[in-house]
Structure 1
Amino acid sequence: MKDLDLAALQCLAALADEGNFERAAQRLNITQSAVSQRLRALEAQVGQLLVIRTRPLRLTEQGKLLLRLARQIQALSSDVARELGLQQTAMERLPIAVNADSLATWVLPALDGLVQQGLQAGYGLELVVDDQDFTHDWLRQGAVLGCVSTVREALRGCLVQPLGVMRYIAVASPALIAGRFPEGLTPVNFSQLPFLVFNRKDDTQVQWVSRAFGLRAPTLQERYVPSSEAYVHAVQMGWGIGVAPELQVRPLLASGALVALRPEVTLDVALFWHQWKLLPDSVAQEPGVALLTEVGRALADGARRALAQE
């Protein structure tokens, strides 16, 4: 295969980000016709359909493979520009995927220093949120350059490092306990009580009940609240029992706003940072060389301060 057209790869990345040709053209400051022509030329070069023209458009598996390459080239170009002190004409995106509970607790403080620098350095951080068991799929598809995930094994061409353990505990409001189960949570009454669930990917509550009562596949009354902050707020309001990060509810337990249920039963979720390996190890370890490496270091430092270590 001949060398791929970098401008065409840039168009593919813009289409993946924006979801249609019009916004991709606006982002690249070219015409829609130019975007279409570059995409057709790239598809002809690789002999594969890369984009399915739906609304919003979707990338084929071959398109996702080239998107991964486009992201890596963008990141390398941005790093080289920073090292050379070149003024970048547009804010560069650095997309990473994180789970909602990490975002609500330790990720923002960990990244704050880099983001503050980025206000002056000409790059932008994009945080993509998904369940910790699914953030790795974003990395595999090329949609992000790094992710916080429960997956331990690195993809080919990626680096992985352990971050720490996020501990989950069951909590409820004192009013809910007094009104619905003053005798405590038991194997008899748990199925009659509402449990709050983040979304349909979330099985944390089922895992906790299974561990607490030795059940294989318990059936729960579920109420869905798809926001980490709103989830904890709903538990405070008495909407149901929550299984939340101990780090997040620690102040509420100390103040008495929430009560831990069966505190001896916990779920420990090990988290890992994955990133594409864009530079040789000898270069990537030098301070200030690669922004993605700096993000990984910042997350590792933040996690070391906030999370339990295995």
Structure 2
Amino acid sequence: MKPLDPAALDCLAALADDRSFEQAAQRLSITQSAVSQRLRALEAQVGQLLVVRSRPLRLTEPGKVLLRFARQVHAMRADVARELGVAPSAHERLPIAVNADSLATWVLPALDPLVHEGLSLELVVDDQDFTHDWLRQGAVLGCVSTVREALRGCRSVPLGAMRYTAAASPGFVAAHFNGELPGLNRSNFSRVPFLVFNRKDDMQHQWVSRAFGVRAPQLRERFVPSSEAFVRAVVMGWGVGVVPEVQASELLASGALLALRPEVELQVNLFWHQWKLGPDDGAPTARMAMLDRVGAALAAGAKQALGAAIAAPSQRSTGVSGRSARASPPG
């Protein structure tokens, strides 16, 4: 196959991001006609349809394959520009997918030094069981995921384990459990409101199943689709919340939140996945690719914030989904 036109790959990536020819043209500062011509030329070269012209448009499976390649080209081009001291193109950025609880706790401090160096970053937020789909389909170059195994052409690095515990406010405990701890039990959990992040979030069901040996428990649910607002709602007494210990530790220590059954804990193992864009010798250097530096920064930040080791596969908390944003895997 002849070398692929970088400008056509830029158009494909812009179409994947903006889902319309008009917005892709605006992003690239060219005409819609130019976007269409470059896409048609790319489709003619590979002999396959790459984009379904729907509203919004979507990529075909061959289009997703080329999107992965386009993302990798963008990352390598940005690395070369950085080494030469040249400003990267304004529309180029490094997309990674993370789960909302990690974003709300340790991800931003971990990436802060790189952002202040000038890293152009795009954070895509989804459930940690689904971020891997964004990587597989080429929408991002790296992801924080619960998936252990690396995709072909990628590498996987253990980050640590996020631990979750059930908590409620003192006012909630007083109102629903007569002020007594642990309060929550097998006979009353179905009458007590639980906070839920969104419809992907089954953390509360997993916790109740583990705590009381109940299969498929039915809960009174109140939805709060933000990690920060979720914890705040627990503090305000909206319901029982299964919260990340790293996020709620100060509130638990101060008494603003009370752990209902601290002996019952869910552990979610996290891994960093990224495409291999260069030599894979594992040796960090001052000139290492920015994607490698992002991975190293996240690994260091997770180790400092989470501390817990990854459990062996037989010890994992299976079927546990974490908080997510209302996002859909790339189509």
- Please give the range of the TM-score, normalised by the shorter of the 2 chains: over 0.9
Deviation of 1:90 after TM superposition, in Å, equals 1.9
Corresponding residue for residue 224 of structure 1:
223
Aligned residue type for 2:51: V
Corresponding residue for residue 327 of structure 2:
none
Q: Secondary structure at the match of 1:295?
A: helix
Between the aligned partners of 2:301 and 2:101, the Cα distance in structure 1 is 14
1:216-262 Cα shifts (integer Å, max 9, x gaps): 21111111111000101111111111001001111111221111110
Corresponding residue for residue 203 of structure 2:
204
Aligned residue type for 2:58: R
Corresponding residue for residue 138 of structure 1:
134
Between the aligned partners of 1:213 and 1:295, the Cα distance in structure 2 is 41
1:150 equivalent in alignment to 2:150: no
Moved more, 45-54 or 206-215: 45-54
Question: Using a 3 Å threshold, how does the CA distance of structure 1 residues 27 and 225 change in structure 2: closer, same or farther?
Answer: same
Query: Given that residues 28 and 91 in structure 2 are in contact (C-alpha distance below 8 angstroms), is that contact kept between their aligned partners in structure 1?
Result: no
TM-score of the pair, normalised by structure 2:
0.90
Between the aligned partners of 2:36 and 2:269, the Cα distance in structure 1 is 44
Query: Given that residues 162 and 308 in structure 2 are in contact (C-alpha distance below 8 angstroms), is that contact kept between their aligned partners in structure 1?
Result: no
After TM superposition, the structure 1 = structure 2 runs for residues 154-165 of structure 1, keeping only pairs within 5 Å, are: 154-165=150-161
Corresponding residue for residue 21 of structure 2:
21
1:34-79 Cα shifts (integer Å, max 9, x gaps): 0001111111222222112222221112111110000000001111
Corresponding residue for residue 190 of structure 2:
191
Q: Which of 164, 169, 178 is equivalent to 1:168? A: 164
Q: Which of 175, 179, 195 is equivalent to 2:175? A: 179
Deviation of 1:303 after TM superposition, in Å, equals 0.6
Q: Secondary structure at the match of 2:199?
A: coil
Between the aligned partners of 1:213 and 1:105, the Cα distance in structure 2 is 29
Q: CA RMSD in A?
A: 1.3
Question: Using a 3 Å threshold, how does the CA distance of structure 1 residues 206 and 35 change in structure 2: closer, same or farther?
Answer: same
Moved more, 81-90 or 228-237: 81-90
After TM superposition, the structure 1 = structure 2 runs for residues 266-281 of structure 1, keeping only pairs within 5 Å, are: 266-281=265-280
Aligned residue type for 2:54: T
Dislocated runs of 4+, deviation >6 Å:
none
Corresponding residue for residue 256 of structure 1:
255
Q: Secondary structure at the match of 2:120?
A: strand
Aligned residue type for 1:190: F
Aligned residue type for 2:73: I
Query: Given that residues 95 and 141 in structure 2 are in contact (C-alpha distance below 8 angstroms), is that contact kept between their aligned partners in structure 1?
Result: yes
Question: Using a 3 Å threshold, how does the CA distance of structure 1 residues 68 and 246 change in structure 2: closer, same or farther?
Answer: same
Between the aligned partners of 1:221 and 1:139, the Cα distance in structure 2 is 34
After TM superposition, the structure 1 = structure 2 runs for residues 68-107 of structure 1, keeping only pairs within 5 Å, are: 68-90=68-90, 92-107=92-107
Query: Given that residues 155 and 273 in structure 2 are in contact (C-alpha distance below 8 angstroms), is that contact kept between their aligned partners in structure 1?
Result: yes
Between the aligned partners of 1:89 and 1:302, the Cα distance in structure 2 is 28
Corresponding residue for residue 304 of structure 2:
305
Q: Secondary structure at the match of 1:97?
A: strand
Moved more, 104-113 or 58-67: 58-67
Between the aligned partners of 2:223 and 2:18, the Cα distance in structure 1 is 29
Between the aligned partners of 1:236 and 1:147, the Cα distance in structure 2 is 30
Query: Given that residues 106 and 306 in structure 1 are in contact (C-alpha distance below 8 angstroms), is that contact kept between their aligned partners in structure 2?
Result: yes
Deviation of 1:290 after TM superposition, in Å, equals 0.2
Gaps of 5+ in 2: 310-331
Q: Secondary structure at the match of 1:108?
A: helix
Deviation of 1:3 after TM superposition, in Å, equals 2.0
Give the fraction of aligned pairs with identical amino acids, expressed as a percent: 73
Query: Given that residues 196 and 223 in structure 1 are in contact (C-alpha distance below 8 angstroms), is that contact kept between their aligned partners in structure 2?
Result: yes
Between the aligned partners of 1:155 and 1:88, the Cα distance in structure 2 is 28
Question: Using a 3 Å threshold, how does the CA distance of structure 1 residues 302 and 283 change in structure 2: closer, same or farther?
Answer: closer
Query: Given that residues 284 and 290 in structure 1 are in contact (C-alpha distance below 8 angstroms), is that contact kept between their aligned partners in structure 2?
Result: no
